[in-house]
Amino acid sequence: MPPRTTPDAPPGSARTRAVVCAAFLAVHAVYWFFAITDPGVGYGDVGLYQYWAWDGLENGVWPVLDFPWVYPALALVPVTLPGLVSTLEWEPYMAGWLALVTALNALATVALVRRAWLGAIWWIAFLAFLGPVAFGRIDAIIVPLAIGGLLLAAQRPRVAAVLLTVGAWIKVAPGALVVPLFAVARRRWRDVVVPAAAVCVAVIGLVAAGGGLRHVASFASAQEGRGLQLESVAASWWVASWITGGDAEGVYNEELITWEIMGPGTVVAADLLGWLLPLVAGALCLLVWRARGRLADAELLAWSGLALMLALIVTNKVGSPQFYAWVAAPVAVGLAGWARGGDDGETRADDEKVPDDGLRGWPGWLDWPLVAVWALVIAGLTHRIIPVGYFELVAGEAFVGWLLVARNVLALGLFALAVARLIAVGPRTAVRQRPAVGPRPAADRPA
């Protein structure tokens, strides 16, 4: 495979880093401005976070500790931190929230620049394309953690496991990335399972100490009573029926404060998705395990991460727009690895045979640049639908309805591509006995 970048591409020249810095500041300044001046457009959830922070700090009533919550327990940390600035006034709380998000995004950007500037530029562009939901939802906290976890997987698997597990205790999605980390780790139990378990024990212990042990897993059942959300991928058929005058329609669920699609078969579809999601996730775990040693570790982490994140989206009866932020981590890291020509920074013994990148006839044009553009289109469509066209969507306007269907089809297509990439791997490398992620034991190091 020919080199894709000049030798100085990672981390890039001073001019390149200046461009990345300017782009980062410009995008964040724009969305800071919108958040402060017009918070109703895409930032409504922050008002809910403010209420929870106020209720806890002022009244001593905390989610998870005192009542079931839709989020895992560690989500209390990012929700509460801006409240230390103010819980009564909107602007200080919003500024505190955005400062937290900006700081985490900055750390992720710096980490990506150190790998390859192209990944950082794409990440900033993705934030701009996805819009307010990339800044005003709890998911804005976990995506930088996922980026850090994937980037640190090669040399610091324990830190990666901690970051991904902490992310999972804020919102579940990053926990899925522990699966490929486990698959490629050299010392799986010591470097992945033990750190992840330690985080879980610490979180559960803190919740128990606060008297909320009975609610510690309440987030797992929070979606059980939901119908098929209007924006979900599975709702596409009924959305198309609705906007073309069929027998489906959008219905507002006052209890859950969300729009759902109702029509023949929607209840059954919502129930089936509850079973389909774990089945698909389980099948993907088997594919990931099969691909270890056949696909280069950095590629396996990125492609399997993309497949798992999309699986959580396309098989979910909830179709919240912020879910699409999850794909940013594997795509940014995968694109950065592609820009480095496959140099993933792994440490290998001199006599270890490095597996090829598992092409096995895989067309070169179906690589990370295509995925990156594909993901940007999905992000841009999501932004156009929510928040820009949301009132048109819930009113059954055909144009925005078809945009939603197109976005969902693109998400399914990208999921299919990621799964196909995991299937299209070469034969297992016979010489290499262990995955390469993680430091080598002392006995394996050359004298």
Residue at 171 is within a domain:
yes
User: For the chain, what is the domain count?
Assistant: 1
Q: How confident is the model at residue 90 (pLDDT cuts 50, 70, 90)?
A: confident
Comparing 15-19, 98-102, 262-266, the range with the smallest average pLDDT is 15-19
Residue at 447 is within a domain:
no
Residue 349 pLDDT > 70: no
Residue at 1 is within a domain:
no
206, 169 in Cβ contact below 8 A?
no
Dump pLDDT digits (tens) for 63-72.
999 999 999 9
* Residues whose CB is less than 8 angstroms from the CB of residue 324 and which lie 6 or more positions away in sequence, other chains included: 130, 313, 378, 379, 382, 411
Question: Could you tell me the CA-to-CA distances from 64 to 169, 210, 211 in Å, in that order?
Answer: 12, 9, 9
d(CA 343, CA 432): 18
Residue at 4 is within a domain:
no
Give the residue from 52, 122, 68 showing the smallest Cα distance to 302.
122
Residue at 81 is within a domain:
yes
Q: How confident is the model at residue 12 (pLDDT cuts 50, 70, 90)?
A: low
159, 347 in Cβ contact below 8 A?
no
Residue 440 pLDDT > 80: no
- Please tell me the pTM assigned to this model: 0.90
Find the domain containing 416 and state its range. Answer: 14-440
* Residues whose CB is less than 8 angstroms from the CB of residue 356 and which lie 6 or more positions away in sequence, other chains included: 296, 426, 429
Using DSSP's 3-state secondary structure scheme, residue 46 falls into: helix
- Tokens standing for residue 140: 């804005």
Residue at 3 is within a domain:
no
Question: Could you tell me the CA-to-CA distances from 106 to 164, 175, 364 in Å, in that order?
Answer: 18, 22, 32
Average pLDDT for 139-168: 96
- Tokens standing for residue 233: 């991928």
Give the residue from 155, 113, 248 showing the smallest Cα distance to 437.
155
Residue 172 pLDDT > 70: yes
Residue at 362 is within a domain:
yes
pLDDT at position 342 is 52
Q: How confident is the model at residue 361 (pLDDT cuts 50, 70, 90)?
A: low
Residue at 202 is within a domain:
yes
Q: How many helices (H) and strands (E) does the chain have?
A: 17, 2
